[in-house]
Amino acid sequence: MLFVSPNAVNVLGYEREEFNFRTVFEMIHPDDRRAVFEIAKKVLGSEMSYISGDSHCPVVLYLAYRAAKKNGRYTRISLTISRHTDPVGGIYDMGVIRDISHIRCGTRVTFALLGGRTLKELPDLSEKDLSISRREQEIIYYISQGYTSSRIAYELNISKFTVNTHRRNIMRKTGTKNLVDLLIYASNNGII
């Protein structure tokens, strides 16, 4: 790893020198390892093996799972991995770790893949039985990040009208009446 931010140290308690790929894998809760590994293998091995031709549309993998802190206690974290190109065409991945233990979202491993081309197949490991489309999952993710409909439209290269239509459909499908209820529902059901 080229760089580990102080935030990762604060979240998990490990020193920068202790972070390497083996340590990061060993931090994953034993019950979550298979799902995290399968998702990472599928997504990082194939779907992220390309870069979108549009530099405004990096490919982003969002994973939420349980990880061990240095003190041995498990916490729920989100790991966001984005693939980028530098000005000379080199490829690099950037990962961001956040403590999301304050969000009541159960113990399931959840993931979302944002940007890039439309996915044909991803492992169905989330165990949710909702008819929320991948595009709707992307929109829910952006809503959870505080994006407005206009900003979501820009990020996804779709119209604001289309975003608002998706938002209405999401609320109808989830039976929620406002964004707070939607985000609680999405969190409790492993959508975000």
Residue bearing tokens 């809503």:
143
pLDDT band for position 59 (50/70/90)? low
pLDDT at res. 128: 41
Domains and CATH numbers, the chain: 1-126 (3.30.450.20), 128-192 (1.10.10.10)
Q: Are 84 and 94 in contact (CB under 8 A)?
A: yes
- 104: pLDDT confidence band, cut at 50, 70 and 90? low
Mean pLDDT of the chain: 77
Q: How sure is the predictor about 130, in pLDDT bands with cuts at 50, 70 and 90?
A: very low
Is residue 161 very low, low, confident or very high in pLDDT (cuts 50, 70, 90)? very high
Tokens found for residue 102: 């304050």
Copy the structure tokens of residue 130. Answer: 């909702």
pTM confidence score: 0.55
pLDDT number for residue 54: 46
Distances (CA, A) of 57 to 122, 151, 182: 20, 13, 26
What are the pLDDT digits (tens) for 8-34?
A: 778 888 888 887 778 888 899 988 888
Confidence band for 3, pLDDT divided at 50, 70 and 90: low
- Distance between CA atoms of residues 67 and 82, nearest Å: 20
Sheet of 110-114, strand order: 91-99, 74-85, 59-68, 110-114
Cα 159 to Cα 165: distance, rounded to the nearest angstrom: 10
Q: Check the CA dihedral 103-104-109-112 and report its sign.
A: negative
